[in-house]
Chain A
Amino acid sequence: MGPGSSRTASTEGPSLASDEALVRLARKGEARAFDELVERYLRGALAVALEYARDRDDAEDIVQDAFIRTLRELHRFDDRLSFRPWFYTILRNLGRNAAERRGRQTELEAVGDVVSNPGSGDAAADAELRGLIEQELAGMSAQQAASFRLCEIEGFSALEVGDMLGVAPATVRTHAHRARLKLREVLSSRGYRSPE
């Protein structure tokens, strides 16, 4: 289980209920059940939304819209199916819509100005390395860059990322692997030690 389905930071402790059980409760208006779903999917949702967004504020709006849309559409959800791919389909559709509204040329584009966590070591060198990585990711296909970011950088499993992006987990692994090889090659050619 990756960070997308983490159950941390709850004041009342994590629930062992399945997503689908929570959906049934949320459908009846149970706020706790809905909050639990939000907690489970918030990190993953923001990670995916950042692939479509101009900046973090924009991504937060997409995430919020996705959760509210999901809540409104819960009566359409088939309990026999898995909630995760259904939710991420809604999120991706809203991300695409937001990207189209802004008139962006590509829907999955590298976002250079939302890097938030400063790495250890020299700040200038970190910034340069980040810039280089973002630049290289921006030159890759959208799926490849997103697979790499979500798997390698954000730590989600290939299974989760498959649902997030609407592709097979094997495809995610392949994309992430190829992106990693490219980045290693570029970083080593510039004299950087590539992260493991």
Chain B
Amino acid sequence: MSEWREFSRLPGSPEYWLDLRQRIGGEAGPVLAGRKARERWLDRALAGGVLAAAASVALLLAQPSPGTPDVTIQAGLIPADPLARELLQSGAAPPVGVLLASYSAEPVP
């Protein structure tokens, strides 16, 4: 050890350092308590958020399936129109005569 150390300005007593630590710890106490409380609040908020999200997902999964909509609705046609139904459900294209007949059968305003 250097002999220069004999000229230290720092106290050598362990009690001095303990007192100073306690003094600083006392001042820090309220700040630390505030941080702890905020941390707890954040933890709770996070847990609440996770629970809410899980509940939302469960609710969505529990919704009944809407089922397959009517083909005429899917095509944007009138569901009650028999021609539209036949047209959409037929495997082959309808003959032009059918379409014309249907057209001419419509009431003239």
Residues of A in contact with B (beta carbons under 8 Å apart)? 3, 9, 26-31, 34-35, 38-39, 42-43, 46-47, 50, 56, 60, 63-64, 67-68, 71-72, 111, 114-117, 119-120, 130, 133, 149, 152-155, 195-196
Contact = CB atoms under 8 A, between A and B. Distances in A.
A-side interface mostly: helix
Interface of B: 1-12, 14, 17-18, 20-21, 23-25, 27-29, 31-39
A47 B7 contact: no
Contacts of B9: 47, 50, 56, 111, 114-117, 149, 153-154
Contact of B8 (A35, A42, A72, A117): A117
A172 B4 CA distance: 17
Given A31-B28, A39-B21, A60-B20, A153 B8 contact: yes
Given A27-B35, A28-B39, A29-B36, A47 B24 contact: no
A9 B14 contact: yes
Contact of B32 (A29, A50, A130, A153): A29
B48 to A, nearest CB: 19
Contact of A64 (B2, B11, B24, B31): B24
